[in-house]
Each structure stands twice: as structure tokens, then as C-alpha cells.
Amino acid sequence: MSTSLDGVALTVFIVLFAVVTGLGFYAARWRRRDLSSLDQWGLGGRSFGGWVTWFLLGGDLYTAYTFIAVPGAMYALGAVSGWFAVAYTILVWPIVFVLMPRLWSVAHRHGYATPADFVRGRFDSRGLALAVAFTGILALMPYIALQLVGIQSVLQVMGLGNGASSFVKDLPLIIAFVILAAYTYTSGLRAPALIAFVKDSLIYIVVLVAIIYIPIRLGGFGHIFHAVSAHAAAVNGKAAAAHKPPVFALIPGGKTYWAYATLALGSAMALFMYPHAITGVLASKQRETIRRNTAFLPLYSLALSLIALLGYMAIAAGIKTTNPRLAAPLLFRAMFPSWFAGVAYAAVAIGALVPAAIMSIAAANLFTRNIYREFFRPSAGAAEEARVSKLVSLVVKFGALAFVLGMNTQNAINLQLLGGIWILQTFPAIAVGLFTRWLHRWALLVGWAAGMVYGTWTAYDVATPAVHHFAGSVAKIPVLGQTGYIALTALVLNLVVSVVLTAGLRLVAARTAGDPDAVRAEDFTADLGDPGVEPAVVS
């Protein structure tokens, strides 16, 4: 890999980054409102229409690390690993179509700003709401750190800081995140919502150019797939000679069906349990906006499938690297003119800023509403909530920055895998709670704890001496004997414990109703999307 500084690419990168920075600060004046309330700062006043929501959710879920990791997986391991992201994002949208309009309606009716707010109102349980908030914050921290990994990759390929001291090498990343922290603090959710227009436009431009221009330079897709097949044969031949299993797979083998299917289903179920995804939903001004967007957001999955093919193009282009995360940036450097490579690098970096901002806001909202106000300052007003949330968003960002700079990148990746296991354990309280109140709050809390402990221990225990602990996300499923996604197995345990304990508690109490519930059946279907009407304040 070349370590020389690409001055032209760097100049284009800086210009585009400066434009985005300006937009971030301008967002405070966009749709001018008083940002001294959590609803305005942390949810954009719940005023975003279909167009803004489409870009916000797309910018939220399709991150910089996606741009780096998916082609990297295709480059290193083949379609079985790399194409998995496409499979599960296809499954996501039917789930969103069913769940999220109901959550939007009840949240707008009662002024809920977080999923834990809903759980608190639905089950009248501070402990269960705290568990949901804690899990959300815990799962978001490594997710934010991974966005920094995406920025690091493009900075490294541009040659910025190569050969310099550790501090000088990390300085551009520190500056980028300080700028992000400043305009998020100033503008709240409006900043990533506005920047998402630029981010997604750049990504679509880069992907469309890459999918046409690079194959032309490489001799067409036929040559690309022929080169990949030859590469797979060579890599797997070396593995066979060393008496090891194949390491590069073009299609899933029979032994991987269960793992592949459970990973796709579990990841799809988990994605919209993440607080940042729910934040994008709650920021919409109408219920119908959510339903309509689920019909069009699969276009991002189409773009993702094209992004994945960049990994195969890197193989055909002869890109050599021991770090698969650099495959796509190195391909841009090798194939594009420097000025357009700068555009591509900026698309990846800006693709990190949007989700990182939303994630930090979502984590701050959880802390403020469901920990600070619930347990320390019940009398906190709207202005105090917003002030605390702004400060916590700074702490979250700089915590993620310190994590990336102070620890091995692999640890961030491993913890993000673990975060998927954790966040799926909130599914019974949030998703099931949208349809039924039958599950008992104490049973849900014990079920959550069982799923968290089982999932964490299993993820730790599946490691072999050759890999880090928490590096795997699949393990043998008890009873079935098949290999499957740990998060889904933990969720099944979670649900079984919750159902059995609920049945026992209902039997002992000799009643099936009467627990406090602030939510009524009609709250789940109401469309209160008048932008001139403020939602009720959560009590």
C-alpha cells in the first residue's frame, strides 16, 4: 500500500468536509426553533417530512463502516460473509412496516422520546425502563467507535499522518470529531438530518460511477468474476494443503445455512431496536411517513449490493492488503483520478458523521430521560433536559474517540458484534409490548437478564485460542445442535423465561389485568401528525 500523501484527494476531502461543517452549524437556523427542549434538540421537533426522514434513516443505518466493512468482507471471505448485510437489510423493512408506525403513534400521543419511555409507560416499571436504556447506551458506544474506524481507513489511504508520531497521526481524526461534537451540540438532530442529504448524494454518485467506470477499466464483470473464482481456488487450495477448511466462499455451504439464516433474521429484528434507528422514526411528523418510507428505503439495500461488489473489484484490480477494511479505499486510489478519489473518501468520512451524531444524540436522550430525570432529577424541566442531553452527547462522542485511539480496532468490532446480541434482548419489552400487555414487567426483566447473561457468556466462550474473545457471533444452538446466531438463541431463552414467569406470576396473583398501563389500544393507531400540534409531555 502506498503511503505517499495524495494532495489533490486531500484538498477535495477538506473542501467537502468544510461544506458539511458549515451545514452542521447552519442547521441550528434551519426551520428555526428554540432548541432548549429535548423535543426540539433531540428529535428535531418531531417535524421531519417524508423526504428528510428518508435521508435521515438512510444516513442513520447505512454507515461509513458499512462502506468499509461490506466490501472488506467480500474481499477477504467472499459472498457468504459480504452478502449477508444485503440479505438482512432486505428483511428489515417488513419488520419496520409492522412495528414502527405503532411506536410512532404511541410516542407522539404521550411525548415519549426514547424506547425506554415507552416501556416505562407501558409496563409501569422503572427497572425495566432502566434495563432498556442501559442496554441501548451500552450497544451504541462501540457502534459510534466503528464510525471512527471508517474515517481512520480513508485517512490512512490518503497518506495523512503515515510515518508520523501517534499524536500527529490521530490529530485529523480528533479534529473531525471535535467539529462533529461542536455542531451536534449546537444544532441537535437537525445537523445530521441536513448533512444526510450531502452524505447520501455523494455515496450514490460514488457507487454509480464505481459500478460503471471500474468494470470498464478492468475488462467487464465477466473478467471480475473470473478473477474472483481464480482467487477463491488459489486461497482455498492453500488452505486445503495446510489441512484447513476453505476460507473464501462464493456461495453458502450446507453447514452454514442455519448460521446464515439466523444471522440475517436476528440482525433484522435487532436493527430497529437500536435507539438511533428509533430516534429517526420518532422525528417524523406523520405516521404515514414511516409507512411510506419503508416502501422506498430498500433502495439503500440495492446500493449496498453494489457497494459489496467493490470487494470483488479490488480482487480483480490486484489490490493487496492484510487489512480488508482498506480494500475499498485502496481501490478508489488505484482506479479513480485523485480528485474523484477525494470525493469518494469524503463520502465515507461524512458517512461516519451522520450516524455518529444520531447515535450520540440517542444515547444522550436515553441517559437524560430514563436515568437522570427518572432517578436523580424528577423535577427537571425541558430546558434542563436539553442541557444535560447536550453535555452527555459530548461525553459519549469523546468516550468513543478515546476508545478507538486507546484500544485495538478489533476490540471495537468485537464489542459491536456483542452490541447486536445485547440490543435484541430489548425486543420483548419494546416490540412485543407494542401488541400485548400480557407479559409481566418482572418476568420481562428476568428474561432480559437471562438473555444478556447467556448471550454475553456464549459470545465469550465460543472463542478459540486463535481469536479474541467476543470475536464470534455464532455458536451451537442447544437441543437443535445446529450453529446459529447467539443473539437469536438468547432471545428465545429471554422469551421462554418471560412467558413462563408471567404465567406463574399471573397464576399466583389470580388475575390477568389491573397492572398500571398509561397506554390505551387506540394510541397505537392514531395519526396525530399535525406539525402545528406539540405532543404531550411525558409524565
Average pLDDT of span 194-202: 85
Give the pLDDT confidence score for residue 515 in this predicted structure.
Answer: 60
Say how many C-beta atoms besides its own lie within 10 A of residue 348's C-beta: 28
Q: How confident is the model at residue 237 (pLDDT cuts 50, 70, 90)?
A: confident
Backbone angles phi, psi at 268, to 5 degrees: -65, -40
CA 31 distance to own-chain centroid = 27
Please report, to the nearest 10 degrees, the dihedral formed by the alpha carbons of residues 421, 110, 371, 185 taken in order.
Answer: 90
Say how many C-beta atoms besides its own lie within 10 A of residue 410's C-beta: 13
Q: Which of 90-99, 128-137, 200-209, 379-388 has the highest mean pLDDT?
A: 128-137
Contact (Cβ atoms closer than 8 angstroms) between residue 28 and residue 187: yes
Average pLDDT of span 500-513: 76
Which grid cell sits at 503? Answer: 404465567
Pick the range with the lowest mean pLDDT from 110-124, 139-153, 438-452, 489-503.
139-153
Asked if pLDDT for residue 532 goes beyond 50, the answer is no
Average pLDDT of span 269-280: 91
Asked if pLDDT for residue 340 goes beyond 50, the answer is yes
Average pLDDT of span 269-295: 89
How far lies 68's CA from each of 215, 229, 516, in Å?
Answer: 19, 22, 47
Q: How confident is the model at residue 470 (pLDDT cuts 50, 70, 90)?
A: low
Distance, CA of 384 to CA of 482 (rounded, Å): 51
Contact (Cβ atoms closer than 8 angstroms) between residue 255 and residue 82: no
pLDDT digits (tens, 9 = 90+) for 80-139: 777 888 888 888 888 999 999 999 999 998 889 999 999 999 998 999 999 999 999 999
Q: How many helices (H) and strands (E) does the chain have?
A: 22, 2
Asked if pLDDT for residue 362 goes beyond 90, the answer is yes
Mean pLDDT of the chain: 84
CA 475 distance to own-chain centroid = 23
pLDDT digits (tens, 9 = 90+) for 295-339: 888 888 888 888 889 999 999 999 998 888 889 899 999 999 999
Give the pLDDT confidence score for residue 531 in this predicted structure.
Answer: 42
Complete domains list, the chain, with CATH: 7-24+36-436 (1.20.1730.10)
Q: How confident is the model at residue 349 (pLDDT cuts 50, 70, 90)?
A: confident
Contacts of 59 (CB under 8 A, 6+ apart): 192, 195, 196, 199, 200, 351, 354, 355, 358
Q: Comparing 407 with 167, which gets the higher pLDDT?
A: 407
Which grid cell sits at 39? Answer: 423535543
Average pLDDT of span 454-465: 76
Residue 18 burial (CB < 10 Å; 0-12/13-18/19+)?
exposed
Asked if pLDDT for residue 513 goes beyond 70, the answer is no
Which one, of 491, 425, 415, 396, lies nearest residue 131 by Cα?
Answer: 425
CA 500 distance to own-chain centroid = 32
Contact (Cβ atoms closer than 8 angstroms) between residue 39 and residue 281: no
Give the pLDDT confidence score for residue 442 in this predicted structure.
Answer: 93
Distance, CA of 453 to CA of 187 (rounded, Å): 38
pLDDT digits (tens, 9 = 90+) for 391-419: 999 898 888 888 777 766 677 777 788 88
pLDDT digits (tens, 9 = 90+) for 43-96: 888 888 888 888 888 767 777 777 788 898 889 888 777 788 888 888 888 899
Q: How confident is the model at residue 530 (pLDDT cuts 50, 70, 90)?
A: very low
Average pLDDT of span 275-291: 89
Backbone angles phi, psi at 48, to 5 degrees: -80, 130
Q: How confident is the model at residue 6 (pLDDT cuts 50, 70, 90)?
A: confident
Say how many C-beta atoms besides its own lie within 10 A of residue 97's C-beta: 16
How far lies 370's CA from each of 137, 144, 284, 406, 498, in Å?
Answer: 11, 20, 22, 29, 22
Q: How confident is the model at residue 168 (pLDDT cuts 50, 70, 90)?
A: low
Give the pLDDT confidence score for residue 151 in this predicted structure.
Answer: 81
Which one, of 524, 536, 527, lies nearest residue 292 by Cα?
Answer: 527
Average pLDDT of span 460-468: 57
Q: Comparing 408 with 374, which gets the higher pLDDT?
A: 374
Which grid cell sits at 422? Answer: 445485547
Diameter of the chain by CA atoms?
Answer: 74
Percentage of the chain beyond pLDDT 90 is 30
Give the pLDDT confidence score for residue 469 in this predicted structure.
Answer: 56
Give the pLDDT confidence score for residue 475 in this predicted structure.
Answer: 80
CA 144 distance to own-chain centroid = 8
Contacts 24+ apart (CB under 8 A), 13-18: 13/154, 13/158, 13/342, 13/345, 13/346, 13/349, 16/198, 16/202, 16/342, 16/343, 16/346, 16/350, 17/176, 17/346, 17/349, 17/350
Give the pLDDT confidence score for residue 528 in this predicted structure.
Answer: 59
Distance, CA of 168 to CA of 166 (rounded, Å): 6
Can you spell out the DSSP letters for 214-231? HHHHHT-HHHHHHHHHHH
Q: How confident is the model at residue 538 (pLDDT cuts 50, 70, 90)?
A: very low
Q: Comparing 523 with 427, which gets the higher pLDDT?
A: 427
Contact (Cβ atoms closer than 8 angstroms) between residue 142 and residue 415: yes
Contact (Cβ atoms closer than 8 angstroms) between residue 321 and residue 80: no
Q: How confident is the model at residue 533 (pLDDT cuts 50, 70, 90)?
A: very low
Percentage of the chain beyond pLDDT 70 is 90
